[in-house]
A and B are shown apart, each in its own frame.
Chain A
Amino acid sequence: MAFREDQIARYSRHIILKEVGGRGQEKLLSARVLVIGAGGLGSPVAMYLAAAGVGTIGLVDMDVVDVSNLQRQIMHSQSTVGIPKVVSGARTLSRMNPDVTVVPIQDRLTAENAMELFSGYDVIVDGSDNFGTRYIVNDAAFFLKKTLVSGSILRFEGQVTVLEGHTEAPCYRCLYPEAPPPGLVPSCSEAGVLGVLAGTIGTLQAAEVVKKILGVGELLTGRLLLYDALSMTFRKLRVPKDPHCALCSPKATITTVSGSSEWVCQVPAS
């Protein structure tokens, strides 16, 4: 791939890094990343990937922009309140970088559509807002052998990990074998979330995606990064592959993607 002059200028700070270089920038420009959730986490993830020149960015979200989103969902703005998040997001990303092809998918991710949606992408990013979706994302990524960069936030705390259950590394079910029953863990809309936390965690996810595409550094595979904004501490814990995992171990019992993405959205605050 030959760079245009404007691309050499745009990506010069990348190209000058020996870990990226022209080769790496080419990898970014031909990479395809699917972002689940165009909200708090999806915003910084997609914006930094677009700025980095990731060639194709898919956005999956069925919601429309609400004014209560704007405290943290920086891909959207006052002028896009009321329009679909994926459309609002696509506008922001295309304006940032015309090199990027944005694929807006205004739909709920389900067990039925996950495999087909994921199949055209290299890396999957989970920035969803409920456990049902998280297990669907994990299982579909596993069956398609895709790297999954997972992030989650609540109140003042966030978690990031990279899941590759199709390798020696763990999957989401190795980390959390089962979702909590409705009522035990509140959602952000009930429990609140510090707006800037979405930026911290989403940006860390974007860094992992870029490293995965470039094949540089150490990923958070087999590691869980915890961030506490109040104490301003980062901790990294080990996540082993579960030899009894229902999905990715030799004792697996799960053979297809199933489950619902809706049921944990409306839990009462505990």
Chain B
Amino acid sequence: MSVVVRIPTPLRKLTGNQGEVREEGGTVREILDGLESHYPGIRERLTDEAGELRRFINIYLNEEDIRFAEGLDTKVKAGDEVSIIPAIAGGAR
């Protein structure tokens, strides 16, 4: 299953400045495996030592937060869009 993965600007250094990449996989976890194999170092920005999604990173499958679905085991299908949304705090300075 080929899905589009949207990369937020803070992580684009790892994807050669691409804001959108394509990955293959049947679950979000497999998509992340694909990302790591193409863009080494990206996984540790998204998941912790136990392999759980970090608590200040959200991954959306289309419009829905996967934390409220099956987490990293959430199934994806061709044409889906996976978005990585990190917390950002800038505003005043």
Contact = CB atoms under 8 A, between A and B. Distances in A.
Interface of A: 36-42, 61, 63, 69, 126-131, 133-134, 151-157, 159, 175-180, 184-189, 191, 193, 198, 224, 226, 228, 230-231, 235-240, 242, 264, 270
Nearest to A131: B89
Given A39-B93, A176-B56, 19 more contacts: A40-B90, A42-B92, A128-B92, A129-B89, A131-B56, A152-B87, A153-B88, A176-B87, A179-B87, A185-B87, A185-B88, A185-B89, A230-B19, A231-B19, A235-B83, A237-B64, A238-B64, A242-B68, A270-B10
Interface residues of B, number: 25
Contact of A128 (B45, B83, B91): B91
B9 interface: yes
B55 A177 contact: yes
Interface of B: 8-10, 19, 45, 54-56, 58, 60, 63-65, 67-68, 83, 85-93
B92 A127 contact: yes
Contacts of B8: 157
A39 B93 CA distance: 6
Given A180-B54, A186-B10, A237-B85, A154 B90 contact: yes
A180 B56 contact: yes
A61 B92 contact: yes
A175 B57 CA distance: 9
6 contacts: A69-B93, A127-B91, A153-B90, A176-B87, A179-B89, A237-B63
Contacts of A236: 63
Contacts of B56: 131, 176-180, 184-185
The 3 A-B residue pairs whose C-beta atoms are closest, nearest first, are: A37-B92, A39-B92, A188-B90
A63 B92 CA distance: 9
A129 B92 CA distance: 5
A129 B90 CA distance: 4
B91 A151 contact: yes
Max chain A C-beta neighbours (<10 A), residue from B10, B68, B87: B87
Contact of B9 (A155, A177, A180, A235): A155
Contacts of B88: 152-154, 157, 159, 185
Nearest to B62: A237
A189 B10 contact: no
Contact of B93 (A36, A63, A186, A239): A63
B10 A155 contact: yes
B55 A191 contact: no
Contact of A175 (B9, B54, B58, B92): B58
